[in-house]
Amino acid sequence: SALGDPINRPVRLSSIGSCTTLCDDRSKRQSCPPPRRICPQLGIPLGMGLSTTTPDTPGVAPPQFSLRGIPPSSPSLAQSILAPRHQVKGNGCSDTNKGPRAPRHRPVNKLGSRSRTHPSPGGMENTGWSTILSDWSPAEQALLNAAWRPSTWATYRYPWTRWLQWASSSSIDPLKPTPPALARFLAYLHNVKGLSAASIALHKSVVATWTHPDNANQLSSHPLVMKMMKGITASQPLRETRQIWDVAQLLQWIQGHPPSASSFFQVSRHVAILLLLASGRRVHDLTLLHIDDSHFQQIPPDMVFWPAFGSKTDRPSHLQSGWRLSPHESCTLWNLPHWLTVLLELRHKRCGSLTLTHLFISSRGKVKPATRAVIAKWVSTGLTAAGIQASAGSFRSAVNSDLARSNVPLDHILARANWRSSDTFLRHYFRPVTVVSTPHTNPATQGFVPTF
């Protein structure tokens, strides 16, 4: 009979037992056969179409290798062996586990075991610092690495890789470049890559930082490099003043689409949007809100959050202010303490016995702290539903620009948004609105007071 698929069905020995020139080497074969052949002339692998079970006939003599008198071009061979064979890629090993595989048990309310390492621009050994740090202990190197935030490592990684590629193609030592070489690299980024002046300035800073530190000041302050940066900035076309979306448009959508108190996703999104509208702070700051005793206080009818360390402006000597949330006087839709109470109840049901201190947790799948990207996706769905084509990060500019147009004192805006310099707000965040709306008041701001 024709040989079948070696994976799904074996061949009965009785159908080929009458042929004395075909050897039976199953008693000595391993589960994964070595790379040898039964018949060198035919080129048939050892495990093709033969069962790996022990023969049933007792007293079989030890098998001997011999050649079988079948010509390779035999039509019967092609019909009985080669034609039925499926084209299955494998190593010839039979699958010993034929039973159904049990599904993996993945409980929802447990943390995943994931380890995260800080990204780096290829490692300190790939930079000009390697010769200096070669005899440093791991503890000393770790202390030096702590001088850069994880976000800075991630920001430096790609510019440094781009510099290494360009230096290699230009036959330049990437660890000890000259100022003319750096100036040429900056011109390459402008002429070939078409990068903006700000991005090119970042590349210049990365190269000056991660090449040999003895040359850092010489590279960044060299007249040739400085003039090249000035020429790049002057060559940039004038940009139109960027505009920002109107907060009144989002407020109107929220008014017409209140969240369902039984939907964990809708309540989580509503609380996140209200906190951004009330404070004007970054989306990342929402990941720093915890509900343990050291970061959360209930002072009826108010609630106070003391954010954990990790904001962009946090320093050992300066932390962002606390968030004191008061109830809205007339409308429950804008009452942050009310919706926080609802969120905590739904959150407790979702967490079960799992202990998490983060205020925001994932709304589906395995229960874990909600990342900045997850929260940004939540609030982005609200912006899209309101007809606003903007990213979640635009909340900071939109909310504080709206406060400035409402004649809120600048000092109050800086305190609410955790800014220490008015220049930061006026230069980088204050924007005119796309379409001027009728005068309005942001009801969410009434329930937020920065606390020190």
Q: What is the CATH number of the domain that holds 321?
A: 1.10.443.10
Q: Evaluate whether residue 200 is within a structural domain.
A: yes
Q: Evaluate whether residue 203 is within a structural domain.
A: yes
pLDDT for 15 beyond 80: no
**Is 254 found in the same domain as 203?**
no
**Is 271 found in the same domain as 175?**
no
Q: Evaluate whether residue 89 is within a structural domain.
A: no
Greater pLDDT, 70 or 249: 249
- On average, the pLDDT of the chain sits at 80
Question: Any residues with CB less than 8 A from the CB of 422 and at least 6 apart, and which?
Answer: 410, 414
pLDDT in tens, 146-166: 888 777 888 888 999 999 999
pLDDT for 421 beyond 60: yes
Q: Which of 50, 67, 83 is the last residue of a domain?
A: 83
**Is 298 found in the same domain as 221?**
no
- Within 10 Å of residue 58's Cβ, how many Cβ atoms? 5
Q: Evaluate whether residue 100 is within a structural domain.
A: no
**pLDDT for position 8:** 53
CB 361 within 8 A of CB 368: yes
**pLDDT for position 39:** 43
Host domain of residue 142: 124-235
Q: Which of 210, 235, 260 is the last residue of a domain?
A: 235
pLDDT in tens, 264-303: 999 999 999 999 999 999 999 999 999 999 999 999 999 9
Secondary structure of the chain: what % helix, strand, coil (to 5)?
40, 5, 50
Give dist(CA 289, CA 278) in Å, integer.
15
pLDDT band of residue 135 (cuts 50, 70, 90) is confident
**Is 64 found in the same domain as 173?**
no
**pLDDT for position 50:** 45
At 230, which CATH number? 1.10.150.130
pLDDT in tens, 179-229: 999 999 999 999 999 999 999 999 999 999 889 888 888 898 999 999 999
Q: Which of 254, 239, 221 is nearest to 383 (CA)?
A: 254
Number of structural domains in the chain: 3
Q: Evaluate whether residue 198 is within a structural domain.
A: yes
**Is 343 found in the same domain as 443?**
yes
Q: Evaluate whether residue 105 is within a structural domain.
A: no
Beta bridge partners of 296: 305
**Is 147 found in the same domain as 66?**
no
pLDDT band of residue 144 (cuts 50, 70, 90) is confident
Inter-axis angle of helices 372-385 and 247-256, nearest 10:
80
Q: Which of 417, 443, 449, 442 is nearest to 325 (CA)?
A: 449
Q: The pTM is what?
A: 0.57
Q: Which amino acid is at 194?
A: G
pLDDT band of residue 329 (cuts 50, 70, 90) is confident
Greater pLDDT, 116 or 449: 449
**pLDDT for position 205:** 92
Q: Evaluate whether residue 266 is within a structural domain.
A: yes
User: Please, what is the Cα angle at 226 between 220 and 232, to 5 degrees?
Assistant: 120
**Is 294 found in the same domain as 230?**
no
Backbone angles phi, psi at 76, to 5 degrees: -65, -35
Choose the weakest-confidence range: 53-57, 249-253, 379-383, 399-403. Answer: 53-57
**Is 228 found in the same domain as 332?**
no
pLDDT over 70, % of the chain: 72
**Is 360 found in the same domain as 393?**
yes
Q: Evaluate whether residue 104 is within a structural domain.
A: no
**Is 251 found in the same domain as 374?**
yes
**pLDDT for position 64:** 52
The H or E element containing residue 162 is helix 150-169
Q: Which of 204, 235, 266 is the last residue of a domain?
A: 235
Q: Which of 8-12, 89-93, 95-99, 375-379 has the highest mean pLDDT?
A: 375-379
Q: In terms of DSSP bridges, do strands 322-325 and 448-451 run parallel, antiparallel, or are they unpaired?
A: antiparallel
The H or E element containing residue 413 is helix 410-417
**Is 264 found in the same domain as 206?**
no
Beta bridge partners of 298: 303
Inter-axis angle of helices 372-385 and 264-279, nearest 10:
90
**Is 291 found in the same domain as 198?**
no
Q: Which of 332, 352, 323 is nearest to 261 (CA)?
A: 332
**pLDDT for position 7:** 54
pLDDT in tens, 342-355: 999 999 999 999 99
pLDDT in tens, 38-78: 444 444 444 444 444 444 444 444 555 444 454 544 444 44
